[in-house]
Structure 1
Amino acid sequence: MNARLTAHRGALLHFLTDPGEHDEAGAYEYFTDGLLLVADGRVQGLGPAETLLATLPADVEIVEHGNGLLLPGFIDTHIHYPQTEIIGSGGRQLLDWLSDYTFPAEARFGDAAYAREVADFFLDELLRNGTTTALVFGTVHRTSVDAFMQASQSRGLRMIAGKAMMDRHCPENLRDTAASSDRDNRALIERWHGTDRLHYAITPRFAVTCSDAQMQAAGTLAAEQPDVYVHSHLAENFGEIDWVHELHPWSRSYLDVYDRYGLVRERSVYAHCLHLDDTDRARLHEAEAGIAFCPTSNLYLGSGLFDLAATDAAGVRFGMGTDVGGGTSFSMLRTLGEAYKVAQLRQQTLTPLRAFYLATLGGARVLHLDDRIGSFRSGNEADFVVLDLAATPLLARRSAQARTLDETLRLAMTLGDDRAIRRCYVMGEAVERAA
């Protein structure tokens, strides 16, 4: 890691708070010609280049990014690294998609070498798309988490991952037990949680595939380890919801099943949450739990449309999730573009500023990591990306016509993809782009 001060020059944008909740103009800082100061892998300051250049020592390295736009690294609040191998598989809704594609693909992750090869590819693909932190599902195999954590550690990434828990209603070769999953979770927490920039997530796949005993074990562990995450799926598909109610006739709702076992709390993150009622949303808010909004997956699997307005009204934190491989792209830019369309279909509004907030500081807040990542606050870890707004002929042509920041961001999330990520930095160091 370079201990010397480095100044990155270009347009700079980061968020101070949620533009959807406060005066939009006061929710962010934007400099058309700015400097981001980095040393020892951390942000030392930022501001207009004209002002800061005169204050810097003569020997400071200045990295010129030209017309690039510097943003904090993107944060993906829900993704499955083993499903890299099935992205783009179609023609099914959730439950059939799991049985036809997901479970056969995940069966291979007991092989440590195979798991590491996929983890390496997956992380290269995230970084190619400017995503520097993610909340990640493994498979039921302990080796899947070890491989992912090793690959993340070698790249110096801040990542969260957990072993999927499934002891019923799944293939025999992907089935653990309440006791074995508890042993594996405890061993993986001991090895990885808090090691370098890594965190662990207790990861029951969903209420259908976890017995009462397994859910109870997960809840007990969550109570013992309050700084460990809880990560699962909630209210994604009507068939799934009906099955949960059939298996848990005592429950008021799908969320109520998790809540009974102590799995709805701070640092709980639930993916999808498409079919909730006001009582569920109020409970998520009360517990300081978060939601991962996964628009490409929800549209591709025909699951439904996320209700941004109801989520906001309840005060529930949410961030963006690509949900690869049900989701159709690693690109947060493409994911934001689809989120805008979901809002349109709901006759709701997702402004470009708020979209980029959700992909950066909003995601960090969902993960309770906003004291470390998600903005250019002084002292934060220097994970950031440089957007190229002329990455394709069409994007360049349209961006040249943009007259406001809002227009520029709208074009980036409508026309951009991995080609628009010019550079990605992790703890202040440039990531070599995979071929």
Structure 2
Amino acid sequence: MRSLSEAVIGDATPEELMSAPVPESYLAAHLRAEDTGMFTGMFTGVNDKDVRKSLRLGRVPMPELAPDEVLVAVMAGAVNYNTVWSATFEPIPTFRFLRQFAKQGGWAARHDLPYHVLGSDAAGVVVRVGSGVRRWTAGDHVMISPSYIDDQEAATHGDGMLGDEQRIWGFETNFGGLAEYTVCRASQLIPKPGHLSWEEAASIPLCAGTAYRMLVSDRGARMKQGDVVLIWGATGGLGGYAVQFVKNGGGIAIGVVSSPEKAELLRTLGCDLVIDRAELGLDRPPRDAAESVAAGRRLGSLIRAGVGRDPDIVFEHVGQSTFGISVFVARRGGTVVTCGSSTGYEHQYDNRYLWMKLKRIVGSHSANLQEQWECARLFETGRIKPMLTTVSPLTDVAEAVRQVQTNQHIGKVGVLCLAPRAGLGITDPVRRAELDQAVGASR
């Protein structure tokens, strides 16, 4: 009898998958609770808090499946900045999240363990379903949304992201996606587009879903045709998808980058105006709100010279080093939409430019399941392309996360988990060829 992993890799039938025994343990990228103090007293700089010191790769026990959960054989995952936060134990060790979750009792108690399996992006094959799962079966090819919601909360039924018990899977829960197997709720599953490889599909849910909610959803900035959108970090996972959503939606995309290589990638994405951070004098973060205003004046001049008017929307996820500039540079009545703070959570800005010019700040976090499915349809049609640029094996996961920590990456960094090589998982080669041909003709 083949092992379950062999059956998955060998494209076994659903019956064969069900007959293969579930392994008692699996290989996973994880943290150990005993290491949470290893960076105590060190500076926050990446040279001190090196994630390669804390991230471990080893076998962990297979968790039991709850009635509303599925077991997915992970063919590929992807690195997100929340894994950097976890591996540096900032702003707090994520083991605190696991302990808090476990206080609910019942199935939640499983998550409080001396290890934390990380990863909030994955694509793979469903191999087992809980007794309460109806819409998914063994053999289904899926992507996994990071939004882990509680369907028994009233607010969840208005918007899955508004429930008090909403969490990010693989960050605020255990059993994440940078592993050979993962456990997630059925309410996290998205059908995988057949023309995409495993690693391409794994690069989509967290960043593309987040960018979709921020820009397109009626819960975000509500971008409309003709809007000018300023995008910080425009060649990262979030920023690269944001550029594509702006262009697909009839907007005018302005991207800020930090190198000529990244600027060239932006131009291939169709970005209307590309600005190098060096032009703004942003070799270091602004010291105070006054410096942010000064940098904002320089940026505003470049934007008006390039596209004729100030941004309607600023796509913000960098945080401390850019937020004050974002508030200043948005047009009167404009919107700053934010989903993170990779350079720091404490923001300084001159509030006069917010209230006196009637601007809005919109907080946005991940995406609900409907938004994820709507986002996935854009990939199915070929209107949005995966931002995957680098793929590493699971054995090199610490180096992959380090690449993101030090901002040495462009786009998304993928990780092959059970997939033996890149390029597998394409079940609709005809559609793939059609889209590749269309891209070639447009060049």
Fold shared per TM-score above 0.5: no
TM (norm. structure 1) is 0.26
TM-score (norm 2): 0.26
